Amino acid sequence: MDQLEPTDKIIEQFGRQILVPGINEEGQIILANRKVCIIGLGALGTIASQYLVRSGIGEISLIDPDTIEESNLHRQINYDLNDIGELKSEVSKKKLQEINNTTNIFSYSETFQSYLQKNLKYKFDIIFDCTDSHQNKILSSKFSKKQQVPFISISINSSEGIYFSQNYKKNSSLPCFECLFPQTDQDHRCLNSAMIGPVAGMVTSLACTKIIFALASNSLSLENEISLIDLLTSDINKLQLSKINCPH
């Protein structure tokens, strides 16, 4: 990775973040050289895109094939009434670029599967799956594992969220998403049908905090974790990851 000299602009723009122990000036400069892929620009992905673009990450790719509907607005924070019918990836890119023009933002109005057909070799520093599709999480975790890239997935349902991370950079033999969460007919379509906006905010904030710290470290240190978060009871439960032989 190329090392940039610290600039006054970076210190001025991200001064409050640079003060955080574990980030510092050095971490902020490392962040400016990182590449992140956000898959899905719904409730989780729009909140993630806001926090990650504002943090000063060098490059962010946004992948989502959908257009904006009125029913999205109660939880998908990149959009407003004027955006209905427009592509989520394009609108997100335009609005995020106005927030931070030092991050290179790329938008792809297609599924992750179709994106991969053209960009199979492109390497990110972290792949962050914010979709509500079990099928997509299986695909994106297998791709991350193959590329030996840290993988994070979040999902929500009603008042609960699930945070899942596997650091395939440190250990590419860790199980993929499918081995830990085998697909059933029930979750074929949608993982999170019922939801209120703030649950998405909480789960995404947890993930983005860990992502920013991991990206700011030279070693991309990210714990392997599955946590269940219940916002009504304020309980966060870390599950013990089982040792599974992943044949994928």
Site residues (CB under 5 A) for Zn ion? 176, 179, 246, 248
CB of 179 to Zn ion, least distance (A): 3
- The answer to whether 45 and 130 are in contact (CB under 8 A) is yes
The sign of the dihedral angle between the CA atoms of 238, 170, 146, 28 is: positive
Q: Shortest approach of Zn ion to residue 244 CB, angstroms? A: 8
For residues 182-204, b (16+ Cβ closer than 10 Å) or e, as one string?
eeeeebeeebbeebeeebbbbbb
Give the residue with the Cβ less far from Zn ion, 183 or 205. Answer: 183
Among residues 35 and 137, whose Cβ is nearest to Zn ion?
Answer: 137
Task: Output the smallest distance, CB 139 to Zn ion, in A.
Answer: 12
**CA pair distance 189, 28, nearest whole angstrom:** 39
Q: Which residue's CB is nearer to Zn ion, number 131 or number 141?
A: 141
Q: Which residues pair with 227 in a beta bridge?
A: 163, 238
Q: How far is the CB of 168 from Zn ion (least distance, A)?
A: 11
Query: What pairs with residue 166 in β-bridges?
Result: 151
**Nearest-approach distance from CB 176 to Zn ion, in angstroms:** 3
Could you tell me whether strands 104-108 and 160-167 are parallel, antiparallel, or unpaired per DSSP bridges?
A: unpaired
Q: Which is nearer to Zn ion, 41 or 138 (CB)?
A: 138
Residues with Cβ within 8 Å of residue 122, at least 6 apart in sequence: none
Residue closer to Zn ion (CB basis): 96 or 162: 162
| Distance between first and last Cα of the chain | 29
C-beta of 19 vs 244, nearer to Zn ion? 244
**Element housing 199 (H / E):** helix 197-216
Instruction: Name the minimum Å distance from CB 227 to Zn ion.
Output: 20
Q: How far apart are CA 46 and CA 44, in angstroms?
A: 6
Distances from the Cα of 191 to the Cαs of 128, 174, 231, in angstroms? Answer: 16, 23, 18
Pick 26 or 225: Cβ nearer Zn ion: 225
Tell me how far, at minimum, the Cβ of 129 lies from Zn ion, in Å.
15
